[in-house]
Structure 1
Amino acid sequence: MTSHTVEYIRYLIPEQQSPQFLAAYTRATAHLAAAPQCVDYELARCEKDFEHFVLRITWTSTEDHVEGFRGSELFTDFIAEVGPFDGSIEEMRHYKPTTVRGTGAAVPTLYAWAGGAEAFTRLTEAFYAKVLKDDVLAPVFEGLAAEHASHVASWFGEVFGGPPAYSETQGGHGHMVAKHLGKGITEAQRRRWVNLLQDAADEAGLPTDAEFRSAFVAYAEWGTRLAVYFSGPDAVAPAEQAVPRWTWGSAPPYQG
């Protein structure tokens, strides 16, 4: 899976034309929203100089934008709305994201919101206490190493935005995947894992607000479905890659 491309289009629109410009883009974005090559978009206006606008569009790839969207009827309809303002474009370029990215303190990580390392230690201790007594999952974890729960707590902590303790002591995503190779995990076992994890989260006192729990369960669903795949007979271990970083209401794309 290739990384997304971000297109920036900078406009200088005379202030008296801004109502028409905004109206045109309000109509035109319906065609962006319908394009399978478009991930998201946003039109921003300068706070101090109202004549300056910046349109940001995230495309699935540069090729998808240039060869896909621009060759479609949606592009024809899009240009019919905003084409009259092409003479006001100051810049129109594609950019590739770099590894320099993150969130600021205004948005707490899921790790911090949950209560940090202590919360995930309580979670995994409660979880594996349940797992070892469970008829469906106990056979999967037979002979569980004493340090397993603490390693998984480090994994959860890093996934949800905490320090890279798992990466520094165990490895990346490939290391975790390797733990599941050949295990033959069933759908029934996967579902029980997700359910017991939610029960353990309640017992451990993790936050119960809808925003946190929806992200928490989304990761559990994502991770366990990958575990089922990689435990199967036809699975091919992925190349080494970083531990996924989970955040509010979104999931990192899996790259095989």
Structure 2
Amino acid sequence: MVTEYIRYRLPAEREGGFVAAYERAAEALRAAPECVDFELSRCAEEPACFILRITWTSVEAHLQGFRGGPVFGAFFQAIRPYVADIEEMRHYEATTVRGVGGAAPPSLYDWAGGTEAFVKLCDAFYRLVKADELLSPLFESMDADHARYVALWIAEVFGGPPAYSEQRGGYGPMVERHLGRGITEPQRRRWVNLMMDAADEVGLPQDPEFRAAFASYLEWGTRLALHNSQPGADVVRSAPMPKWGWGVAPPYQG
């Protein structure tokens, strides 16, 4: 993904209709498959200055897909009167410098107790799996470190360090491990139920907010694994690591 920043400086007599124009243009952005999200901000110190931030799936998707697509005409028509007021229009790629400040809510990873909590969770879970007649056949050839890898996966997804990506390759290799497994819906449901039992056993936080986020991830992840494991499934093999917070993650699209 790449972020485009468009900086405007408007004369006082032209400020009035600017936000309204972008409210109209926003309909085109919402309809554009190349657009991830967007936000228009106004400078507190200099109210005549605005910044539009648009996250695109790639530079090419913006310049070729969006600009050559069916909704660009409506977008440009809405903002055409303000093109001459643009001071900067460039794409930026994220660096490794990122994080959250003290005012941000804790990640699910921190709230749960860090990597150690997820290691305990997965150790308890796979002990239950080995004794379960419905799930144990799926894990007969399980690697001795499988539980630890799953713990690292969940930890990273919930906001922890990128240990799974560094040690196991991230999303793509995880998907490959599910291909052709032929997981059934009863097995998927049992997987979720045993994971919730393991969460109770090891004492993961019981508050409704955490458990709701935890349960929603289990549903999302197991349904994706179920789909990917079927013969002939249309599988998204390359995607970013999912990032789960106190809401939900967006769907992957092929």
TM range (shorter): 0.7 to 0.9
User: Are the aligned partners of 2:217 and 2:248 in contact in 1 as well (CA < 8 Å)?
Assistant: no
- In structure 2, relative to structure 1, the CA distance for the partners of 1:111 and 1:18 (3 Å cut) is same
Does the alignment pair 1:171 with 2:176?
no
Structure 1: gaps (5+ residues): none
- Of 6, 28, 32, which residue of structure 2 is paired with 1:35? 32
Question: In the TM superposition, what is the alpha-carbon distance from 1:144 to its structure 2 partner?
Answer: 5.5
- In structure 2, relative to structure 1, the CA distance for the partners of 1:98 and 1:194 (3 Å cut) is same
- Of 43, 46, 49, which residue of structure 2 is paired with 1:46? 43
User: Are the aligned partners of 1:172 and 1:243 in contact in 2 as well (CA < 8 Å)?
Assistant: no
What CA distance in whole angstroms lies between the structure 2 residues aligned with 1:113 and 1:104?
15
- C-alpha RMSD of matched pairs (Å): 3.6
User: Are the aligned partners of 1:184 and 1:228 in contact in 2 as well (CA < 8 Å)?
Assistant: yes
Question: In the TM superposition, what is the alpha-carbon distance from 1:152 to its structure 2 partner?
Answer: 3.0
Percent identity, aligned pairs only, is 56
Question: In the TM superposition, what is the alpha-carbon distance from 1:86 to its structure 2 partner?
Answer: 1.2
* Superposed counterparts of 1:41-80, under 5 Å: 41-72=38-69, 74-80=71-77
User: Are the aligned partners of 2:236 and 2:252 in contact in 1 as well (CA < 8 Å)?
Assistant: no
Question: In the TM superposition, what is the alpha-carbon distance from 1:186 to its structure 2 partner?
Answer: 3.0
What CA distance in whole angstroms lies between the structure 2 residues aligned with 1:160 and 1:200?
17
Question: In the TM superposition, what is the alpha-carbon distance from 1:125 to its structure 2 partner?
Answer: 3.2
Matched residue, 2:184: 186
Question: In the TM superposition, what is the alpha-carbon distance from 1:51 to its structure 2 partner?
Answer: 1.4
Does the alignment pair 1:6 with 2:9?
no
- In structure 2, relative to structure 1, the CA distance for the partners of 1:200 and 1:19 (3 Å cut) is farther
Structure 2: gaps (5+ residues): none
What CA distance in whole angstroms lies between the structure 1 residues aligned with 2:222 and 2:17?
50
- In structure 2, relative to structure 1, the CA distance for the partners of 1:207 and 1:16 (3 Å cut) is farther
What CA distance in whole angstroms lies between the structure 1 residues aligned with 2:77 and 2:148?
59
- In structure 2, relative to structure 1, the CA distance for the partners of 1:246 and 1:71 (3 Å cut) is closer
User: Are the aligned partners of 1:111 and 1:160 in contact in 2 as well (CA < 8 Å)?
Assistant: yes
Instruction: Give the structure-2-normalised TM-score.
Output: 0.76
User: Are the aligned partners of 2:125 and 2:194 in contact in 1 as well (CA < 8 Å)?
Assistant: yes
The count of corresponding residues between Structure 1 and Structure 2 is: 250
Task: Deviation per CA, 1:12-43: give whole Å up to 9, x if none.
Answer: 01234323212222232122222233221100
What CA distance in whole angstroms lies between the structure 2 residues aligned with 1:135 and 1:34?
47
Question: In the TM superposition, what is the alpha-carbon distance from 1:199 to its structure 2 partner?
Answer: 2.9
- In structure 2, relative to structure 1, the CA distance for the partners of 1:104 and 1:75 (3 Å cut) is same
The DSSP-based 3-state class of the residue aligned with 2:117 is helix
What CA distance in whole angstroms lies between the structure 2 residues aligned with 1:102 and 1:61?
20
What CA distance in whole angstroms lies between the structure 2 residues aligned with 1:193 and 1:212?
19
The DSSP-based 3-state class of the residue aligned with 1:140 is helix
The DSSP-based 3-state class of the residue aligned with 2:91 is strand
* Superposed counterparts of 1:112-127, under 5 Å: 112-127=110-125
Question: In the TM superposition, what is the alpha-carbon distance from 1:164 to its structure 2 partner?
Answer: 4.5
Matched residue, 1:103: 99
Instruction: Give the structure-1-normalised TM-score.
Output: 0.76
